[in-house]
Structure 1
Amino acid sequence: MRAMIAKRKSTENGHHNMRSFLDLPSEIRHRIYKAAGLVVGMNLRLTPRRDDTINLRLTPRRDDTGYFGFQPSAESLCITSNLLQTCKAIIPEVASLVYSQNTLVVVHEHVRFGLEFLRCLSPQQCSALTNLVVQLHLEAPVLGDDFTELEPTPPLDSALVASWQAAARHILSHTRPQTLNLRLFCDTGVGDTTAAVLQPLRDFPGVLKDCELQLHHEKNNNQARALAFDAATRAKGFDPDLRAQPFRFFDLPAEIRRRILEYSDLVTPFKEVYWSASRGFRIATALIRCGRDECDTQLHRGCHFLFCEPLNSLGAGYVCCRRRSAYSSRCQCWVAPRGPFSASRSLYEESLQVLYSCNRIIVVPSKGLRSCLLPDGVRKRLDASKFITRHMWPDVLHNLRTIEFVLPAFDAAYAPVSDELYYSDFRFAIDHLKAYADEPKLSIVISITSPTSIKYGGADDMWIFRRFTGGDSVALRSYAQLLSCLKALQGMRCFFVHLEWARHWTAERAPDFNHLMYSKVNKMESWLEKMVMGQDYDSEAAGKSEPPSIWLCEIRNTLEHVRWRQLPEEQMLTHI
């Protein structure tokens, strides 16, 4: 009983001793600050106040901090400003939270003011910094602000370089090791000026947690890219020379070498490589930028290889190694894999195996998806035939695993059934493929397009239905004759036929809309597949229900752009 009474008195005395807000534990105070509306998780752009250009207290205006969903409310800014003007006991604590929970951005329009602001930070505030962006010198808009025009940038003179060096040394000398992420934009290329800008980073090796450097606004300056890698690597405490040392790659087992190459850019973002006789190789990219949570699930799996922009980069910019001469450990953007093909003959052969076995090879018509095979007085070969016999070496054909032929639409008055040259040439190409391909591991997909539906936005969805089930059966006979050449490959792993039109894979397709049309088209596809593989072949069991190739998904997103903005079809794809 006495123990309980003593404990109660001790508790009561503790409550009586807690007389002010500062008596609360620091964790509780921090939670109260944030619940009250303290600005956190924002990009705070350092700009001078209109009424006092030398006041360095952090009082960001509403139009100076972030954009869109990353812009704090006026109430949050007011609360933050008030907290920074309370008392000497609270101001340092709130300032440390502001510096540690937000990203400070020195914008190029007010770079001198921003650097002076950094120089005036106390050692305690410097140690609290976790994210810092410095737009020291820009020749083009930072990628996060590409939609805005770049205001004239003052020249990077010796005085500005000295100001940057003083601010950088002040920050780096007081920051806690491995806590600060620095993103520096300095589009000065390779030279003495850049060397002077990077000198503070070299003087404090191993201090930064991460370092992103952009040294040229163009993307093909290899010297600037190498210099950025060297400086950033040393600033993070690593030895960049380790990368330059030779590595006996072929001492590794073949299985390990294969896995390493599969994690390189030899595998494209969507695992699809496009080829046509007129344009060569290219990859598909989404015309519409990544929508994050609202992005199409079929397309989103490749977004982080095409768009490395962080979610909160608006107002601060981000460093992309594919679009600029820069270094960033966060950038995973896909670039053309030229290195493995020029290092050695052995690496070249193994790279070809990975390229053609891990990607879906799609042969599209030279005139585009909206092309139609018409009599023009000149006999031309199909792109599919050219790819097999003219472009692919026999030993490369053995590496193919999935190949898709997008056939041009056949005009009723002029189809391969009336021209034996198309048929005989394609048959020769298929015989050549059978002679050299690994038939049991090979999958072939035939896509037959509807250019009328694609061109006019799917307004005529019944076009393909009337074309194959109406009185015009010439088209169906033409495709059947052409595909009969594939009977020589009955031992392949699987074979699919897709009769495609604009709205086939779109969300607008209703389950009960034109049910007869869809069932008839499915029967025609099945008939063509069984004609090649045999009557016992079941394409659905073989995996035909899997999502279509990306070019079909992109029709849904690019259709309105093609119709209303008259964009050329080449913008649907990106050259390697």
Structure 2
Amino acid sequence: MANSIFKHPSDMQNKSSTRPLLLKLPYAIRRQVYVLLGLIIPSTSQVTLSYPPEYFVFVWSAQSKTFREIDDDPRPPVSNQLFYVSREIADDALQAFYSENKVVLHTFNALFALRNLSPLDLRSLTFLSINIKIRKPITGRFPTRSNELACGRQVVEEWKRCCDRLAAHIQPNVLEVKLNLGTGDTHIGSAMLRTLSALPTLKECSVAFEMASSRELQLLTERTVRQVTGQIVSCPPFRFEDLPIELQLKILEYAGLSAPGDLRWLKGIGYILNTCAEMACGIRGWAGIRYIGCHIFRARYTSRDHCLDIPRLHYSW
């Protein structure tokens, strides 16, 4: 049985005996050690991830595995010697760093820094805030539309590569993602949302656009966030727009949501039919008394009343 795949208990004991003393401590005690070393910062603060280091107070360099030393920063920097004691201690320290801290990427090279995280770093992440700025290449005095689209396509491709790496390593229902997209192009925003929806189930997710707003983009944002957090099933719900137009009109008429004519907004009154606003309801006589029988100006109702009554229970005007 010399080639047996099973290890003798004595071999496991020998491996345990060679384990660094720090790792033999319970994690609660090791965590306090990492806090004292500055590796784990208070939960009210965030770590700005950068590669290479940038000029921020709480900046972690994935290259030198240390915080950047800043003169006016009262918190002592973390010594990178901690990561060269042994591979086991380095892995444990990195796992504690990425799992205990709120990691933020909001520099121009945010996606580059995210792409260069190791599989262990990605598996350990519990909070990730990403602020993606789509820079417009300047040609001449003003940026052109074609340059903006070309830059947007590059960002979308880089974002897809980052999401593919995240999807390959992150744990389901562990990571909280906050995504802020600085783009005014709905096509670029939609493409980035579709890429985000391919991630495993997230613990929490929030998405915000800085310079873009449309009904289609809003609905896609809501649907993407609900899908990636497991709040909706993969099978899409039946859409009202898929019904024949005749059935759509019947449903709207039955629900009181279909107006018999064009609407107009009047201050202090709200939406009324355009014919009512033009006093064209068919009442003959002097124009000043045409409103006598109108329920807009006084309470009235008859069984033959065909005027539009806005369903105010469904809306807040």
- Under a length normalisation based on structure 2, what TM-score does the superposition of the two structures give? 0.55
**Does 2:218 align with 1:217?**
no
Matched positions, count: 214
Q: Deviations over 1:532-562 (max 9, x none)?
A: xxxxxxxxxxxxxxxxxxxxxxxxxxxxxxx
Distance in 2 (CA, whole Å) between partners of 1:84 and 1:195 is 40
TM-aligned CA deviation for residue 202 of structure 1: 2.4
Larger relative contact order, structure 1 or 2 (CA cutoff 8 Å, min sep 6): 1
1:181 equivalent in structure 2: 176
Q: Deviations over 1:140-170 (max 9, x none)?
A: xxxxxxxxxxxxxx95433332222111210
Change in Cα spacing, 1:347 to 1:20, as seen in structure 2 (3 Å) is: same
Contact conserved, 2:126 with 2:175, CA < 8 A, in 1?
yes
Describe how 1:216-365 pairs up with structure 2 within 5 A.
216-217=210-211, 221-239=214-232, 241=236, 348-349=312-313
2:22 equivalent in structure 1: 21
Q: Which secondary structure does the structure 1 equivalent of 2:87 belong to?
A: coil
Higher helix share: 1
**Does 2:69 align with 1:74?**
no
TM-aligned CA deviation for residue 211 of structure 1: 1.4
Q: Which secondary structure does the structure 1 equivalent of 2:78 belong to?
A: helix
Residue in structure 1 matching 2:202, options 208, 217, 224: 208
1:32 equivalent in structure 2: 33
- Under a length normalisation based on structure 1, what TM-score does the superposition of the two structures give? 0.32
**Does 2:118 align with 1:122?**
yes
Q: Which secondary structure does the structure 2 equivalent of 1:32 belong to?
A: helix
Q: Deviations over 1:204-254 (max 9, x none)?
A: 3x5211111123425x533322221121111112328559779xxxxxxxx
Q: Which amino acid aligns with 2:78?
A: I
Distance in 2 (CA, whole Å) between partners of 1:211 and 1:131 is 10
2:63 equivalent in structure 1: 56
Superposed CA RMSD: 4.0
1:393 equivalent in structure 2: none
Residue in structure 2 matching 1:172, options 167, 171, 196: 167
**Does 2:9 align with 1:45?**
no
Contact conserved, 1:165 with 1:200, CA < 8 A, in 2?
yes
TM-aligned CA deviation for residue 34 of structure 1: 1.9
Unpaired stretches in structure 1, ≥5 consecutive residues? 1-15, 64-70, 140-153, 247-278, 281-343, 353-575
Describe how 1:100-119 pairs up with structure 2 within 5 A.
100-107=99-106, 109-111=107-109, 114-119=110-115
Contact conserved, 2:205 with 2:225, CA < 8 A, in 1?
yes
Distance in 1 (CA, whole Å) between partners of 2:195 and 2:79 is 32
Q: Which secondary structure does the structure 1 equivalent of 2:120 belong to?
A: helix
**Does 2:181 align with 1:197?**
no
Contact conserved, 2:183 with 2:189, CA < 8 A, in 1?
yes
Unpaired stretches in structure 2, ≥5 consecutive residues? 1-16, 55-60, 136-146, 242-266, 269-307
Contact conserved, 1:161 with 1:197, CA < 8 A, in 2?
yes
Q: Deviations over 1:239-298 (max 9, x none)?
A: 28559779xxxxxxxxxxxxxxxxxxxxxxxxxxxxxxxx98xxxxxxxxxxxxxxxxxx
Change in Cα spacing, 1:203 to 1:19, as seen in structure 2 (3 Å) is: closer
Change in Cα spacing, 1:55 to 1:209, as seen in structure 2 (3 Å) is: closer
Residue in structure 2 matching 1:159, options 154, 160, 181: 154
Percent identity for Structure 1 against Structure 2: 21
Q: Which secondary structure does the structure 2 equivalent of 1:79 belong to?
A: coil
TM-aligned CA deviation for residue 177 of structure 1: 0.3
Contact conserved, 2:177 with 2:202, CA < 8 A, in 1?
yes
TM-aligned CA deviation for residue 123 of structure 1: 2.1
Change in Cα spacing, 1:347 to 1:56, as seen in structure 2 (3 Å) is: farther
Change in Cα spacing, 1:73 to 1:93, as seen in structure 2 (3 Å) is: farther
Change in Cα spacing, 1:208 to 1:86, as seen in structure 2 (3 Å) is: same
Q: Which secondary structure does the structure 2 equivalent of 1:136 belong to?
A: strand
